Structure 1
Amino acid sequence: MANILANIVARSTLLSALEEKRRQQMKKFLLHRLFFVALLQENAESADVTAYHEQLFQRISKIHLGESPSGILLIYSHCLLHILEASSGTLYHILMDLAAVENQDSNALIQDVKILAMSHNIPTRLFNQWYATAVEVPVTLEDVTQTQTTEEVITECLTLNLKLGVYLATLKVGNKGLSDCLHTVVPELLMPAETIQYLCKAKECLSPEEFLKIYNNPLQPKMDSECVWPTPTHMIS
């Protein structure tokens, strides 16, 4: 009889299974995906740009516990395009560093950083790890920035970036990074350098400092009660 009761107690229920699943999910950090572009200092080497970001990630990992970054850094001759996937705290520290560097050093390696988009609570990573690669995209004959709005240019840029991520997900990329040059394999999935430089100067895009200012100061809408109380007073003539 005792054995029967023990077996009954040991059986799990649907409720307990759902609660355990929720506990496992709560242990993980929510993932977010950040897209940003930037101009490079004149004569900047791709190795220096890669080393800067690697050192930034290592420094943040020592002071903040969160999901490590994954994504891809596309380094052009005079600009870059960066996709990062990480927890909100990690991305917050990265943006703080970018804002501090721009404000303190006019000759910084990375300049005119602009945020294109932030995707919140993404279900899964698009990139297995963080990659950095130099690309050489030829000058395009047609400048789309003259015929499209900034919003349309950003939409096209994000679409190509996501397609590039899907393509890289099908490859077997080792720990050493990308072995093939993307501009020779999938040039149609890379944004022209002229478009990235245009976005770095677009007023519609926020800098890291502007983005953090909005993030740290959320909107506080006026409540209905504030409109009716206290009652307005009228001056008696």
Structure 2
Amino acid sequence: MSSSAHTRKTNKKNFPLECLLMPRVPRSNYLQFQEEKQKLQLKKLLLHRMFLVARVTANKEKKDIAEYYEQLFQSILKHHPGEAVTGLLLIYPNSIVHILESSNGTLYQILLDYLSHEKDEREFFIQGMKIIVTSHNIPTRLFMQWHVSVIKAPVMYLDDVTQSLSLQEVMTEFLIQTHKLALHLFKTVKVGTKGPGDNLHQVAPELLLPEQIIKYICNSAELMDPETFINMYNKPIHVTLDSEVVWPTPSSF
């Protein structure tokens, strides 16, 4: 009797310890889920996509514009490690369309560099930049690398057409055409190649925007310029509660 009673007492004492030693089901929070998702997509940080337009000095050499951005990308990655820049730069005779994919910090540094040149250099070859749209936390890239293409299409005078359309209609057309072009290049350009080259006006002329539309967007006062965007980015967010604007000040009894 004493032996069996002793065994039961021992089992009762060991039962909680055995429960502690039992393997538990691993649990993860939402942050860990997002981090694992980023690793599976081979992304270090959240990706963002930005569409830009700007005016450039007439007949500016493709080499000069491409070298400026390539050196800028290398400098940013050296001092601010993050996601590599991919995208597409379309160089028209007097304007550019630029699609950029990278981390939020890298895009921020690109805009800051433009502002520094715009303020310090009166004759900087990129002027009047406007931000069309910024897409946050994109699921995947449309471009596997950064491409530059010169558009050699003939100049089209569409003053009457652009003046008859609203800004919303022009912006809609801009976004539709650029997304179609991006998807076309995503399907046709292989990783590691030089990109679409300078014959897009022959390969996919229906996907290219006339330069007159780009000029129309650059001259639009409704669209945000980099300086305004940076000021909003750096501005702290203050949430004002209803109780803070009620007069007299509510008091507890």
TM value normalised by structure 1: 0.85
1:149 aligns with 2:166: yes
- SS of 1:65's equivalent in the other structure is coil
Partner of residue 118 from structure 2, selected from 94, 97, 102 = 102
Q: Determine the structure 2 residue equivalent to 1:194.
A: 212
Distance 1:118 1:16, change over 3 A: closer
Structure 1 residues 89-135: Cα deviation after superposition (integer angstroms, max 9, x where no partner)? 00000011111111111100111111111111111111111100101
Superposed displacement of residue 159, structure 1: 1.2
| Amino acid in the other structure paired with 2:94 | H
Question: Distance between the aligned counterparts of 1:31 and 1:154, measured in 2?
Answer: 23
1:225 aligns with 2:253: no
| Amino acid in the other structure paired with 2:174 | C
> If you compute each CA radius of gyration, which structure gives the higher value, 1 or 2?
2
1:168 aligns with 2:185: yes
Superposed displacement of residue 73, structure 1: 0.2
Q: Identity of aligned pairs, percent? A: 45
Give 1:69-84 correspondences, 5 Å limit.
69-84=85-100
Superposed displacement of residue 25, structure 1: 3.3
| Amino acid in the other structure paired with 2:154 | P
- SS of 1:151's equivalent in the other structure is helix
| Amino acid in the other structure paired with 1:160 | Q
Q: Determine the structure 1 residue equivalent to 2:128.
A: 112
- SS of 2:142's equivalent in the other structure is coil
Higher relative contact order, chain-length normalized (CA < 8 Å, sep 6+): 1
Q: Is the 8 A contact 1:137 1:193 kept in 2?
A: no
Structure 2 gap segments, 5+ residues each: 1-21
Question: Distance between the aligned counterparts of 1:177 and 1:218, measured in 2?
Answer: 41
Give 1:1-237 correspondences, 5 Å limit.
9=23, 15=27, 21-25=33-37, 28-140=44-156, 142-143=158-159, 144-173=161-190, 174-179=192-197, 181-228=199-246, 231=249
Distance 1:113 1:20, change over 3 A: closer
Q: Determine the structure 2 residue equivalent to 1:3.
A: none
Q: Aligned residues, how many?
A: 223
Q: Is the 8 A contact 2:156 2:210 kept in 1?
A: yes
Superposed displacement of residue 214, structure 1: 1.2
- CA RMSD of superposed structures (Å): 2.4
Question: Distance between the aligned counterparts of 1:19 and 1:49, measured in 2?
Answer: 40
| Amino acid in the other structure paired with 1:24 | E
Question: Distance between the aligned counterparts of 1:211 and 1:18, measured in 2?
Answer: 30
